[in-house]
Amino acid sequence: MLTQIVRPMVRTQIRLLAGSHATRPVLVKTIAQWLGFLGVEAKVTQLAANAHQIQVSLTVGKPDACDGNDWEKILQHLRCDASEKSDLQAIAGFTAKQQSQLQRLLAYVIQVGNPEESLDWSAIEPQLQTMGFEASLIAGIGAALKVPQSLDLLMETLEDDVAAVALPKAVSIALLDRKVTPSEDRALSALIAAL
């Protein structure tokens, strides 16, 4: 569902950019507009073309859905934290129960992404490695794939810290085949709701 909405919009914007003689202002406006769809107030502060990439710097305001106290905590953490805490550090700080929840959630997304096909771990494992998943997380996902997972049961005790780490990873898994199945969409929507 998500890709059916977003991809045509992206293709249209790309065609507009390719045909525009004012590419820079159109791209700046497009980036701010796309983030605006997510409720994020963003301003492009720098835009440059470098080799085969576009480099963008942003200033981001408090998202509409963000509580004022949460926003202040985020800003405080960014001011105090000289080195950013990565997903790997966050996962390392998880309890065994939280790590299991994360592994089982990601296994569920993999399972529902290919409901008619038997899962080929030898094909899945390298994809997870390419996506930067830690070895212990990959091993846990592999173990969780051996048992059918239930989204409803997984969501019952899901903590928001686990949901926050799981969501971007689940999106990456769902988009591996460049389409989002209804079951994957349901899982992603449940993770968003858990946040």
Write down the pLDDT at residue 5: 64
Query: Has residue 95 been placed in a domain?
Result: yes
Q: Identify the residue whose tokens are 């996902």.
A: 141
Lowest mean pLDDT segment, chosen from 21-25, 41-45, 101-105, 136-140: 21-25
What pTM does this model have?
0.61
Domain for residue 152, yes or no?
Answer: yes
Same domain, 52 and 107: no
Same domain flag for 109 and 151: yes
Question: What's the chain's length in residues?
Answer: 195
User: Averaged over 130-158, what is the pLDDT?
Assistant: 90
Which residue do the tokens 């959630």 mark?
A: 105
Q: Is residue 81 part of a domain?
A: no
Average pLDDT over residues 12-37: 80
Supply the pLDDT for residue 84: 47
Distance CA 4, CA 1 (A): 5
Q: How confident is the model at residue 41 (pLDDT cuts 50, 70, 90)?
A: confident
Taking the C-alpha atoms of residue 43 and residue 60, their distance in angstroms, rounded to an integer, is: 6
% of the chain at pLDDT higher than 70: 91
Domain boundary among 41, 60, 79: 60
Residues 7 and 14 sit within 8 Å (Cβ to Cβ): no
Task: Based on the fold, state whether residues 123 and 29 are members of the same structural domain.
Answer: no
Q: Where are the alpha helices (DSSP H) in 42-149?
A: 68-80, 87-92, 96-113, 121-130, 135-144
- Same domain? 92 vs 54: no
The range of the structural domain enclosing residue 20 comes to 2-60
Residue 193's CB is within 10 A of a number of other CB atoms, namely: 10
- What is the rounded average pLDDT of the residues 27-42? 81
Residues 101 and 38 in one domain: no
Judge if 180 and 132 occupy the same domain: yes
Task: Determine, yes or no, domain membership for 178.
Answer: yes
Q: Nearest 5 degrees, angle CA 139-CA 193-CA 132?
A: 30
79 part of a folded domain = no
Computed over every residue of the chain, the mean pLDDT equals 83
The answer to whether residues 55 and 44 touch, using CB atoms and an 8 Å cutoff, is no
Q: Are residues 33 and 98 in the same domain?
A: no
Domain for residue 163, yes or no?
yes
Residue 137 lies in a domain: yes
Among the residue ranges 85-89, 145-149, 154-158, 169-173, the one predicted with the least confidence is: 85-89
What would the mean pLDDT of 160-174 be, rounded to a whole number? Answer: 88
Q: Are 107 and 157 found together in one domain?
A: yes
User: Does the pLDDT value for residue 133 go beyond 80?
Assistant: yes
Q: How many domains does the chain have?
A: 2
**Residue 50, helix vs strand vs coil:** strand
